[in-house]
Amino acid sequence: MAVGEFELIQQYFHREAGGEGVVLGIGDDCALLQVPEGKQLAVSMDTLIADVHFPANADPGLIAERALRVNLSDLAAMGAEPLWFTLALSLPEADEHWLDSFSEGLFAAAHRYDCTLVGGDTTRGPLSITIQVHGALTPGKALLRGNASPGDRIFVTGKLGDGAAALAALEHRFEVQEEHVQYFADQYYRPTPRLKEGQRLKSFASAALDISDGLLADLGHICEQSLVGAEVAVECLPISEPLAFYGDQCPALDWALCGGDDYELCFTVPEKNLSSVKALISMGELVATEIGEIVSGSQVLCKNFGEVYEPPHSGYQHFEP
């Protein structure tokens, strides 16, 4: 039986109205939302295209989880608390099995990160997913890209390179052993938006962003906005045990530098806050690694044990120059 647009929305995406500040959710021409008192609204939107940002034949539930999680990563990079999101979904056909799995994955991620679906759109067309996320921030407390200064130390959360390794494994360019298959699949489809870390770092970091296109490309955005350069100590890059296991069988360092899809935070810390951040790390309250320093100039330079290291490229670009 064919499913019409409104039946599709009602059956798969309508939930009882809830969540902080939701006056009116799905079902009318607009959602009505009340921003928490004394807060600013942080808004970000990303589009994911089938066979560009995810395999079209992947599990629909995993596609949905990835779509929401990578968008929430932008809120994490600003230090924002998630509130709501909207969804625009383009589908070749209204496949009920696909929609059932997709919606279950979507709401599983939404529940995990306490973010409410409040509206959107569905249309017929090539498979694509556009999500707009909304979060709350105390005015003047947002983590921005443009506040880094020479002398600031550069840190990253978590591990780097797993996202690129996972994509290579999915595309059969990298063969992983059976015990690592699930690990890398989770790194790709269920990346962790570092929301708690971003909110904690608002008191200590001078600049921050999330690593989506690769460490060097994204660190370059901080440098460009802050009118500074950077030196990265390649030997300090945090590599996961599953990725390190493969040694010379894969370009782990290059994946960490420019592979992308990690969705960790890259942030800079001024000297005055360095001891506080290191204390958080030593107490296990923040999983992060120091990897370099902000310097004068405009170049992002990599060194491996003091020797200049030339990566193959700087990172992912949607439109090649």
Share of the chain above pLDDT 70, in %: 94
* Tens digit of each residue's pLDDT (9 = 90 or more) over 227-258: 999 999 999 999 999 999 999 999 999 999 99
Q: What is the pLDDT of residue 27?
A: 79
Q: How many beta carbons lie within 10 A of that of residue 268, not counting itself?
A: 28
Do residues 44 and 133 lie in contact, with contact meaning Cβ atoms separated by under 8 Å?
yes
DSSP string covering 91-157, please?
ESS--HHHHHHHHHHHHHHHHHTT-EEEEEEEEESS-EEEEEEEEEE-TT----STT--TTPEEEEE
Q: What is the pLDDT of residue 319?
A: 35
Taking 50 as the pLDDT cut, the residues of the chain under it are: 1, 315-321
* Tens digit of each residue's pLDDT (9 = 90 or more) over 26-39: 878 898 999 999 99
Q: What is the pLDDT of residue 313?
A: 63
Return the closest-CA partner of residue 158 out of 290, 302, 287: 287
The yes/no answer on whether domain 153-308 falls in CATH 3.90.650.10 is yes
| Domain coordinates in residue numbering, the chain | 5-137, 153-308
Q: What is the pLDDT of residue 311?
A: 87
User: Which superfamily does CATH assign the domain made up of 5-137 to?
Assistant: PurM-like, N-terminal domain (3.30.1330.10)
Q: What is the pLDDT of residue 262?
A: 97
Do residues 184 and 165 lie in contact, with contact meaning Cβ atoms separated by under 8 Å?
yes
Q: How far apart are CA 176 and CA 181, in angstroms?
A: 6
Q: What is the pLDDT of residue 16?
A: 59
